[in-house]
Structures are given as structure tokens and as C-alpha cells.
């Protein structure tokens, strides 16, 4: 079974803090993604990566950056956390190619106070 593991289930951070969310997948997938989920808005793509050290902006990259130094690990960084970044963050991975589904981690519920 594919396993995508996010480092924390719940996080509480203060406004202005630098926050790191870590994600590791164990199936040698080329692609990795970070989404955030908010009520009524579904899952919105923040960043994705199709290879080590490669990254592409998604729909809502402002206020975020990412790092992919190793194939299995994809980190999301909130440079200076703000209250509007309170959300559920979901990491996913997939193979490259047609008909490839994405596998998700369990999610990190981040609260910025």
C-alpha cells in the first residue's frame, strides 16, 4: 500500500512564526503536491513538484514556499504565518502518466493564533 505521511496531525502556531509542514511518501512517486482544504472551497493546490528540486506554483502560492531535496520528501513552508492560513493542509503524491491517481496523507490541521 502507498503510504503518505505528514509529520503532524495538529499544529498551533503564532502569527509571524515560520512554519514547516513535512510530508514523506514511500512509493517512489515522481509527483508530490500540497493542497489546503477549506469549507465550501474544496481542495486548492498550493504547490507541486514533479522531480527533486523542481517546483511549480499552484492556484494559491502566496505566503508559501516549498522544498524538495529528496524524492520522497516534500516540505511546505509558511514564511510568516497569518491567521488566514488557518486550514487543513493535505499532502499527496502520484506517479507520472495518464490515469495516475493521487494518494493523500492524513492531513495537518494548522491553527494560527
Partner 1 sequence: DQQVKQNSPSLSVQEGRISILNCDYTNSMFDYFLWYKKYPAEGPTFLISISSIKDKNEDGRFTVFLNKSAKHLSLHIVPSQPGDSAVYFCAASARNAGNMLTFGGGTRLMVKP
Interface ranges with partner 1 (CB under 8 A): 4, 9, 31, 33, 35, 40-45, 48, 50, 58, 90, 92, 94-107, 109
Shortest separation between residue 17's beta carbon and partner 1, angstroms: 23
Shortest separation between residue 19's beta carbon and partner 1, angstroms: 19
Cβ atoms of 47 and 57 closer than 8 Å: yes
C-beta closer to partner 1: residue 14 or 97: 97
HSE at residue 21, side-chain half, CA atoms within 13 A, is 36
C-beta closer to partner 1: residue 26 or 79: 26
C-beta closer to partner 1: residue 17 or 59: 59
Cβ atoms of 108 and 8 closer than 8 Å: yes
Q: Exposed e or buried b for every residue in 70-83, given b needs 16+ CB within 10 A? A: eebebbbebeebee
Amino acid at each position: 500500500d502507498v503510504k503518505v505521511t505528514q509529520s503532524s496531525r495538529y499544529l498551533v502556531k503564532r502569527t509571524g512564526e515560520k512554519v514547516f509542514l513535512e510530508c514523506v511518501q514511500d512509493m517512489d512517486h515522481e509527483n508530490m503536491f500540497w493542497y489546503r482544504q477549506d469549507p465550501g472551497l474544496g481542495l486548492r493546490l498550493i504547490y507541486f513538484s514533479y522531480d527533486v528540486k523542481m517546483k511549480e506554483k499552484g492556484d494559491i502560492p502566496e505566503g508559501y514556499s516549498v522544498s524538495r531535496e529528496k524524492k520522497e520528501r516534500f516540505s511546505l513552508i509558511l514564511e510568516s504565518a497569518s491567521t488566514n492560513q488557518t486550514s487543513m493542509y493535505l499532502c499527496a503524491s502520484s506517479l507520472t502518466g495518464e490515469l495516475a491517481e493521487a494518494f493523500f496523507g492524513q492531513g495537518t490541521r494548522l491553527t494560527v493564533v
